[in-house]
Structure 1
Amino acid sequence: MNAGKIISFEGKRSGEQGVVLRPGYHGTINACRQLLVKFLPQRMDALFERLDDVLYTQADKAGIDHNQTAYFESMRVLRREREQIQSTFNKGVLGRFDRFWTHGPAAVSRHTLEGSYNSDELGLVESDELEEGLAITGMVSKGNNTYYRDLYALDERFSYLLHGVSMGKEGNPLAPAALCGAFEQAITTLEVTLAVKLVIYKQFEKELIGHLGAFYDQANATLAKAGILPGIKPTMRRNAPYQTSSTASSGYSPAADSATYAPGENPEMQAEVFATLQQLLLQRRPESLAAPTGNVHYVESVNLLSALSVLQHQGNIAEAANAPVMDARSMRAALLKMPQIGQAASGRMAIGRVDEDTIDVISMLFEFILDDPGLSDPMRALLARLQIPMLKVAILDKSFFSRKDHPARRLLNVMAQAAIGWTEESGRSGDGLYARIESAVNRILAKFDDDLALFDELYEQFAAFLEREQRGAHVAEERATQVTQGKEALVEAKRHVADEIGRCLSNYGDVPDVVQNLVRDGWNDVLLLIYLRKGRESDEWSDAVNLMERLVWSVMPKPSHSERQELLRSIPELLKGLRAGLSGISYNQHKMNRAFKGLQARHLACLRGGRALDETLTQQADEEEHIDEVGEVMEEIVLESADAHSAPIVSEPDAFDAQATKLALGTWLELNEEDGAVIRAKLSWRSNISGSCLFVNRRGMKVAEVTRQGLGAWLRSGKAVLLPEISVPLMDRALNSLVETLNSPGSKKPGGGKEP
């Protein structure tokens, strides 16, 4: 672990910008490093000892099932990997500390929470990784809030040592962000379930982040003793004890209700997402919304729920489908005016911190819903009416934020997922999707009080409707795909047959018209049918091509006696094969007889040593063929391209062409037509041959068929706009966006304000 290492302040790599340390303080910095070398192993030992107990307890609670097995297996994995994890973590932390003194804060930030949970990249992570990202973000936020005075002193002293270099947001190598980043990297390849990983992060938070106070005291004391800004002293009392979850409470506790939906889960883990959101809100909340002072009476949660029920009922009566989502400030103001809140005998009424945070989070989530491009305007407005019911759900049960299978969250997700393909042209009346969602929303507004079972009931009903609808859509989509595939296969087959015929005829030069006509008009369809039914690799295809070759050869001059003898022997079999093949495609009998007469004359000429014919016979045969050529002509089918043919093809593929090529099946597009109509279409099928794409609507009916180049032109011009990936549920996308917003500088503050 290089525990006794003395920091080298030399040897910066080429191209990296270094920093200059004030002379005379090398010993002081190494003294701080020794504190770190002593602190890390102690806390990591405590972490692993505690983890063993916690995982055993979780396994005992899980009972005899696969969850218990997972916990026991995780215990074995952790015991096996413990040394490697500790070594990687210790080296990571000490490496950050050492790089800081040679390359400054940028070297720490660059290696902190890599990959990671910053504002620019958080929106790109998969939904299954959201919990892990929130766990890390929560640890960092709570650590920063708890130790902000110590961190301020360390930042100032480290800055002084580097001649005033600014620490930045994550530049301190001893800050929670650096420690959490090193730990995240140390367990990134650990093969355990997400639930176990969250338990590990929880214990890391308790055993290491929760014990940083004493370490920071020692580090600051060491620096102050060395004369580095000894005047920095706390202006307030010592930091409050570190807490791993919010202890503020006002009314209902989520832990009691959570067991109804997730038996065996740790209530602390269920509330962890909300606790993390609270920490992020605390950092962003304007000073005007700080905890009120003076004689304040806090609203009981039961009274708050009663007031929300009145607002919910009023919204249902007014049918405020087009009403905007209420921001948190407006919601609080409206609630405090409600008689159900009650009046204080003295002082004023205020909403408790936990309920106020819940209002903030739900308001921001529904603002995301109103901005979600995956929903059309009518659907956004319809789902936005669920803001108050979902707020009540979140007040009743904080696991709403962490449990993907929460009844209310599940219903909201499935309705939003179904709505992605709906547009106004689909209609609102009857038993369609809009009417179903509207009915569910109205029932929630009218009936929901505090019984979460209503959401289970509505989910089952809506899921049954959706399953019936999707079965019909699947059948229609399969038919559309089969038709398109058939057309594609026919075009490809015609191309191959034409190539084969062209090759055969070109090999013999001047082929008589009677044979050319027979091959192009009759044998062409024989080859086409075999190609479609049996394929180019079949024996039937080879036999048909060989027969065509023998046919053309048979009418060419035969100067040698041996060739004429060979022709004489092959004619019966040749004519038999031709007749069988043409009969198989129901070739016109009159045209077949005339063609065979022409062949007979030419064969006779070849058997005489040439192929010259009486001019009158030739002219007569050609005239008869011209007169009777009124048969069936197969319709030429050309792939429709829906404006793609008119779109210019760029000489060099660009990013839009690449996007069109890589577009995954199941992706939804919004198509803006020239007449102003908006159509939503899903990529159902792409040809492996031509790259042509088939798009269908939510009922499985064909909407458009376009070439790959045409699709690129649509994306380039804005006619086609990609919609969000529906595999990521609406609530997951909303939570992701919320964390990104709260992490972003200059983002909208909770309570309706904006950063100055």
Structure 2
Amino acid sequence: MPASAAPPNPSLDTPPPTLSTRPFPRRVRRLLEGVLEFASDEIERALNITLNDVEQQLFKLAEQARSNDVQQRCFEALRAVKRGRADVTPRYMIGLEAALAGIKDPPEPEKNAAVGITRFGELALVEDVELDEAAVLDEIAGRAEIRNSLPLYLLCQRFGVLAGRPAFEAERLPVGPHALCRILQQAIACLELNSEHRMLVFRQFDRQLMPVYGAFVEALNTFLIREGVLPRLTYVPVRPRPPRAEPVVANEAETAAPRLPRSGAPDADRTPAMRRRADSGLRPHTAWPGETTWSPPSAPAPDSDSDSGEANEMFAILRQLLAGRRQLAGKFGQPGGTPARSGPAFVASQEDVESVLGLLQQKPASAVLVDGKPAPRSVHHVKQDLLAQLRQWAPEGAAPTLADEDADTIDLVGMLFDHIMKDVRPNSPAAVLLAKLQVPLLRVALRDKGFFTRQRHPARQMLNAIAESGAYWVGEDEAERGTVEKMRMLVDRVVTEFNGDPTLFEALLQDLSGHLQTSVHKAEIAERRHVEAARGKERLALARMRASEAIGARVKGKKLPRFVHTLLTQAWADVLALTALRQGEDSELFARQLAIADRLVRATSAPAGSEDALSADEAAQMRQEIEQALTQVGYHGEDAAAIAARMVSGSDEGGDRGGGEDAASRTELALRMKARTRLGEELEAQKRKAKTTPLDEEGKACLEQIKHLPFGTWFEFMSNQQGDRVRRRLSWYSTITGHALFVNHRGQRVGEYTLEWLAQAMAAQQVRIVPAEKGTIIDRAWSAILGALRSFSGNAGDERGGSQS
């Protein structure tokens, strides 16, 4: 077997379990046999094509090889594949049946797909070849899991029923992508390929099986449904429970509080300390974009079309407030006042308005010119176009105008869109989508005044879904294309299909909700991987710190040879750290390695000829143990032997010259150790690179606030000098290492900062915590509109009172 070939699978040394040898109930065994039969057909076909492609690729690589050695290796691999391919498929099916037969076995510690070490529960130094294979297989399986998350979720639930246990995780599902990749790695071990050519097999397997894996999972779900295993199971997104009462808007004071300064001074005049104290009492925002607050259209709602009397009453109140605003604006000669009419007027009926809006709905929502510059189209421009079209229907000499109720409705919808657009970037795709929704929602509001008062009105929920999703998902340069395209498709359907039936919004809203929940699930999967890796780094840093403390306590105050001191504090500290990670500090091996350090300190610090000197037998045994331990932390055999000889000899100049010492002098060995990356050294490098100045009082207060934040808190980072901000999610932080992990809205790692740096940035107002706001974006917009209208109404009353006196 080549030196880099995959090691034999230990599980094949004993007969693997089969479905016939396990005490399954008759029905469960029959279902598992059906799954195995179907999977065997699909996988056998994919394996045959994979091996054919591998042979072709090896032959092509051999022809293109630039050296005889590379060509020879390719031909050897080609012969190995031809010679052993007949064994690959049977070995794969044996592994697949063993995985299905073990569904009732207790979960084993999660193993890495390629190297057989614990993925995140422990850490260990392994060969680069093994790590590369682990990364490739994890990438293949993770990509398939994300693409097919919903059918995999349902299949995991059904396999949980077969096993009589809770639902499986995708990583442990016997026919999941992770299991299929693990079985492939074990099956091709018989080919005895080197790492490069095993990678070729993995890539070809990915190209052949994974594109059809979604249909494979759907077929398995269909088979189990037909056999009566959770036949009515469907995926329903989990949403928060709707509120009991249905006011016109959410609690106005609480909704607007996060946006308004608590003092009378403008927010720009408030000191950072004032802002921090005001923000510290707010609950941070932790939900993913897409975890919206709307309820499913099928949920029973207390408000219905029979409540039109209450809706009309609330709409009348809104009209009164709007009239007060218009009256006050007219007194001061400001825009928005009551227009003066001269000459005959043509008041358009609601049917005429509906007909014209139907025509405008089919026209593209193009931008308009404002002061010679293109600007987004607003409801005010739609109103102008509406009056221009009505002019063609008006009698000669009569100016078209709208009924007061229709005009107020259009003005209120216009105010709503104006407030929503404040939270959406002007040039983002969301702004275009909202512009397209203006005319259809005007038609909805003109027909049903419940649009203004009912939080669960389907059209209002649809608008809220687009506004919130657009504000967060498509507001960044790295916006997810699938979400953008999905929203664009749904909005286009509204524009082309809406003809007064609000049930269209219900169907489209449910479609969008399912897509966003899928996106959230993908982001959570991606985030979980990064968090687990970060926690592994934390355990590594903690083990490294404790190992250094243990060695430091033993060499402190001892007169050791300089080289031995260096070897103990570096090489042997790495050995202790790795042992602490893999077996714990209370293990026998960790105690033995500490005893070796104690013995070396006594032997090398004692005068020549003393009784603490190592005997020949003790030195030989210790040297063997040291050499073996050093190879486990990544030292090459020659260097490990030389270091072991130095440590046992206790001399800066001499040592046993038989263990590779002739090939590596003391100076050369020291240089190699200095150039070598130590275990966890990259963490120290990151910490040194991110070194900050000492925190002031404000920075210390921010640091304490950060340490009490829940995982998942969203932050806003200033992205440029113009003050634009980008949102990042604090997925995890460690008070031990002082590092914080941030991801974007797709769950991808975008930065890792120290807590001190983050606190300094918060104190400098370059970073801020995003507070959780009550209600939806529509509720907050109505709260602001209602507050503004009431303020105008109060001022108007003061003016009237003053004139009467």
TM-score normalized by the length of structure 2: 0.50
Structure 1 range deviating more: 362-371 or 534-543: 534-543
Residue 284 of structure 2 corresponds to none
Q: Spell out the pairing of 1:340-379 with structure 2 (5 A cutoff).
A: 343=394, 351-372=402-423, 377-379=428-430
Residue 478 of structure 2 corresponds to 426
Residues 535-563 of structure 1: CA deviation (Å, up to 9, x unaligned): 556665455435433442344438999x7
8 A Cα contact 2:250 2:779, kept in partner: no
Residues 354-409 of structure 1: CA deviation (Å, up to 9, x unaligned): 43332222111111122116786453343233222222222223333344333222
Please state how far the C-alpha of 1:741 moved relative to its aligned partner. 2.4
Q: 1:572 to 1:426 in 2, by over 3 A?
A: closer
Residues 595-643 of structure 1: CA deviation (Å, up to 9, x unaligned): 55556656xxxxxxxxxx8987699989844344536823531378799
Residue 730 of structure 2 corresponds to 683
The separation in 1 between residues aligned to 2:717 and 2:474, in whole angstroms, is: 10
Question: Of 490, 514, 523, which aligns to 2:540?
Answer: 490
8 A Cα contact 2:249 2:783, kept in partner: no
Residues 172-206 of structure 1: CA deviation (Å, up to 9, x unaligned): xxxxxxxxxxxxxxxxxxxxxxxxxxxxxxxxxxx
For 1:457, give the aligned amino acid: A
Residue 554 of structure 2 corresponds to 504
Please state how far the C-alpha of 1:438 moved relative to its aligned partner. 3.1
Residue 111 of structure 2 corresponds to none
The separation in 1 between residues aligned to 2:244 and 2:684, in whole angstroms, is: 43
Q: 1:434 to 1:134 in 2, by over 3 A?
A: closer
Q: 1:403 to 1:545 in 2, by over 3 A?
A: farther
Alignment partner of 2:509: what SS? helix
Residues 470-513 of structure 1: CA deviation (Å, up to 9, x unaligned): 4443333333333444444434433332233222210x521234
Alignment partner of 2:376: what SS? coil
Alignment partner of 1:681: what SS? strand
Q: Spell out the pairing of 1:25-40 with structure 2 (5 A cutoff).
A: none
Residues 667-689 of structure 1: CA deviation (Å, up to 9, x unaligned): 15254247999755333332333
For 2:744, give the aligned amino acid: N
**Structure 2 portions without partners, runs of 5+:** 1-240, 254-296, 331-336, 797-805
Alignment partner of 2:500: what SS? coil
Question: Of 486, 490, 502, which aligns to 1:436?
Answer: 486
Structure 1 range deviating more: 368-377 or 301-310: 368-377
C-alpha RMSD of matched pairs (Å): 5.2
For 1:557, give the aligned amino acid: A
Residue 711 of structure 1 corresponds to 758
Question: Of 649, 672, 697, which aligns to 2:744?
Answer: 697
The separation in 2 between residues aligned to 1:523 and 1:357, in whole angstroms, is: 80
Please state how far the C-alpha of 1:745 moved relative to its aligned partner. 5.8
Alignment partner of 2:742: what SS? strand
8 A Cα contact 2:410 2:442, kept in partner: yes
Alignment partner of 1:433: what SS? helix
Residue 553 of structure 1 corresponds to 602
Residues 319-367 of structure 1: CA deviation (Å, up to 9, x unaligned): 9996435365x65554344339954899986544443332222111111
8 A Cα contact 1:421 1:681, kept in partner: no
Residue 385 of structure 1 corresponds to 436
Q: Spell out the pairing of 1:162-181 with structure 2 (5 A cutoff).
A: none
The separation in 1 between residues aligned to 2:382 and 2:652, in whole angstroms, is: 101
Question: Of 558, 567, 573, which aligns to 1:524?
Answer: 573
For 2:354, give the aligned amino acid: L
Question: Of 531, 534, 548, which aligns to 1:481?
Answer: 531
The separation in 1 between residues aligned to 2:378 and 2:573, in whole angstroms, is: 70
Residues 15-41 of structure 1: CA deviation (Å, up to 9, x unaligned): xxxxxxxxxxxxxxxxxxxxxxxxxxx
Residue 37 of structure 1 corresponds to none
Do residues 669 (structure 1) and 719 (structure 2) align?
no
TM-score normalized by the length of structure 1: 0.52
Please state how far the C-alpha of 1:453 moved relative to its aligned partner. 2.6
Residues 410-445 of structure 1: CA deviation (Å, up to 9, x unaligned): 2223333333143463379xx543343333333323
Alignment partner of 2:732: what SS? strand
Alignment partner of 1:479: what SS? helix
For 1:361, give the aligned amino acid: L
8 A Cα contact 1:488 1:639, kept in partner: no
Please state how far the C-alpha of 1:521 moved relative to its aligned partner. 3.9
Residue 246 of structure 1 corresponds to none
Residue 325 of structure 2 corresponds to 284
Q: 1:260 to 1:657 in 2, by over 3 A?
A: closer
Q: 1:421 to 1:648 in 2, by over 3 A?
A: farther
For 1:456, give the aligned amino acid: E
Residue 652 of structure 1 corresponds to 697
Alignment partner of 2:363: what SS? helix
Q: 1:628 to 1:744 in 2, by over 3 A?
A: same
The separation in 1 between residues aligned to 2:508 and 2:451, in whole angstroms, is: 17
Residues 656-675 of structure 1: CA deviation (Å, up to 9, x unaligned): 66665566624152542479
8 A Cα contact 2:428 2:474, kept in partner: no
Which has the higher Rg, Structure 1 or Structure 2? 1
8 A Cα contact 2:727 2:744, kept in partner: yes
For 2:362, give the aligned amino acid: H
Residue 57 of structure 1 corresponds to none
The separation in 2 between residues aligned to 1:678 and 1:614, in whole angstroms, is: 58
Please state how far the C-alpha of 1:584 moved relative to its aligned partner. 4.2
Residue 676 of structure 2 corresponds to 633
8 A Cα contact 2:347 2:403, kept in partner: yes
8 A Cα contact 1:127 1:728, kept in partner: no
Alignment partner of 2:682: what SS? coil
The separation in 2 between residues aligned to 1:380 and 1:466, in whole angstroms, is: 19
Do residues 417 (structure 1) and 464 (structure 2) align?
no
The separation in 1 between residues aligned to 2:519 and 2:298, in whole angstroms, is: 34
Q: 1:520 to 1:317 in 2, by over 3 A?
A: closer
Alignment partner of 1:524: what SS? helix
Question: Of 736, 740, 744, which aligns to 2:787?
Answer: 740
Paired positions, count: 491
For 1:500, give the aligned amino acid: A
Q: 1:260 to 1:686 in 2, by over 3 A?
A: closer
Q: Spell out the pairing of 1:204-353 with structure 2 (5 A cutoff).
A: 262=301, 265=304, 267=307, 274=315, 277-286=318-327, 288=330, 299-316=348-365, 323-326=375-378, 332=383, 334-339=385-390, 343=394, 351-353=402-404
Q: 1:712 to 1:286 in 2, by over 3 A?
A: farther
The separation in 2 between residues aligned to 1:640 and 1:370, in whole angstroms, is: 44
The separation in 1 between residues aligned to 2:746 and 2:428, in whole angstroms, is: 20
Please state how far the C-alpha of 1:568 moved relative to its aligned partner. 11
The separation in 1 between residues aligned to 2:607 and 2:754, in whole angstroms, is: 50
8 A Cα contact 1:373 1:723, kept in partner: no
8 A Cα contact 2:623 2:648, kept in partner: no
Identity of aligned residues (%): 26
Residue 394 of structure 1 corresponds to 445
Do residues 407 (structure 1) and 407 (structure 2) align?
no
Question: Of 502, 527, 536, which aligns to 1:452?
Answer: 502
Alignment partner of 1:306: what SS? helix
The separation in 1 between residues aligned to 2:248 and 2:588, in whole angstroms, is: 60
8 A Cα contact 2:425 2:431, kept in partner: no
Please state how far the C-alpha of 1:650 moved relative to its aligned partner. 4.2
The separation in 1 between residues aligned to 2:677 and 2:601, in whole angstroms, is: 24
8 A Cα contact 1:501 1:524, kept in partner: yes
For 1:406, give the aligned amino acid: H
Q: 1:262 to 1:302 in 2, by over 3 A?
A: farther
The separation in 2 between residues aligned to 1:643 and 1:738, in whole angstroms, is: 51
Structure 1 range deviating more: 306-315 or 674-683: 674-683
Residues 56-79 of structure 1: CA deviation (Å, up to 9, x unaligned): xxxxxxxxxxxxxxxxxxxxxxxx
The separation in 2 between residues aligned to 1:422 and 1:640, in whole angstroms, is: 35
Q: 1:356 to 1:616 in 2, by over 3 A?
A: closer
The separation in 2 between residues aligned to 1:128 and 1:260, in whole angstroms, is: 12
Residues 246-303 of structure 1: CA deviation (Å, up to 9, x unaligned): xxxxxxxxxxxx9998477561566676455445434433265679999988643333
